[in-house]
Amino acid sequence: MNQLSRYPLVHLDVIRLEGQDSLKFLQGQCTQDVSRVDAHHPMQGAFCNAKGRTITNVWIVQNAKQSHIYYLLCERTSAPVLFRHLTKYVAFFRGAKMTYEDGQYIGYGLSGTGLNACKESLANELAEGFFCDWGQHRGMFWQPAQTTCPTEIAQAEPGAVDVWQVEDIKERFIWLNEQQVEQWIPQNFSLDELNGISFSKGCYTGQEVVARLHYKGQSKKRLFTVTWSSDEQIEQVFSEQGIIGDVIQQATVAGNGFGLAIIITEQTEFPMFADENQQVAVQLLH
């Protein structure tokens, strides 16, 4: 029996870019080589300031029927920050138009053995929406808020967003929020290891700093997937040395916490804890 579950992606949002200069514009701003992106293979990337600090990270999706339309998927609270940042540059590209409005798109996380059949039936909906295939029977469907939810999705078994977020964390799908704006360089959250940085495509805002670290140094902080036996939210990771990392994304399922944390690499060899009193142990997943 084909099964399909849906999850409300209320923590994410979409910025839309269209026009004949949209690719050229994105290439000058994003860490990713956007020319590699197509409608079937969403790719990670990030946008930085001139000092190489990340405004936020995104997943980039190309429209299946109109190649000059791109969608930037990002965390909801960071979307308006990114939009304001990119607005400063898009004005120089007459052939590119960027639009963003809070809640303009509605997203559904989809999972289960019925996903492939659902994806095929959604093909006719893609003029008004777009699909992201994550593999492993997981995907997303996004549509303008004013359109009707497709029947296949409306009839799917509803699930809690925390369950979806935990799966994202396990796969190291990062969604930086507004509290992390300009806090990290892309290598701190391992975007280079996650195929989110091109070191050959040419210049983009912040590229000099990002490339210098790649060729002449190495980030002492990296992204790790962690878990702890508590439903409490945590902000930092501790060891006997004190604070060794920051939790940048987390969710709780069945009383267990899961998170993505930026941790000093050499400190991961020692016992880690979710609290300064070392009462709750933190374990590495990968």
Mean pLDDT of the chain: 93
For 78-106, give one letter per residue: b (16+ CB within 10 A) or e. Answer: bbbbbbebbeeebeebeebebebeeebbb
**Could you tell me the two tokens for 120?**
């095929």
- The string of pLDDT tens digits covering residues 119-174 is 888 776 666 788 888 888 899 999 999 888 889 899 999 999 999 999 999 999 99
pTM of the shown model: 0.94
Supply angle C-alpha 253, 259, 261, rounded to 5.
170
Over residues 22-34, the mean pLDDT reads 97
Question: How many whole angstroms from its chain centre is CA 222?
Answer: 16
CATH of domain 178-284: 2.40.30.160
Q: Where are the domains of the chain?
A: 5-159, 178-284
Reduce the DSSP state of residue 12 to 3 states and report it. Answer: strand
- The string of pLDDT tens digits covering residues 81-126 is 999 999 999 999 999 999 999 989 999 999 999 998 888 887 766 6
CATH of domain 5-159: 3.30.1360.120
Give the confidence band of 218 by pLDDT, cuts at 50, 70, 90: confident
**Could you tell me the two tokens for 215?**
């060729």
How large a percentage of the chain has pLDDT more than 70? 98
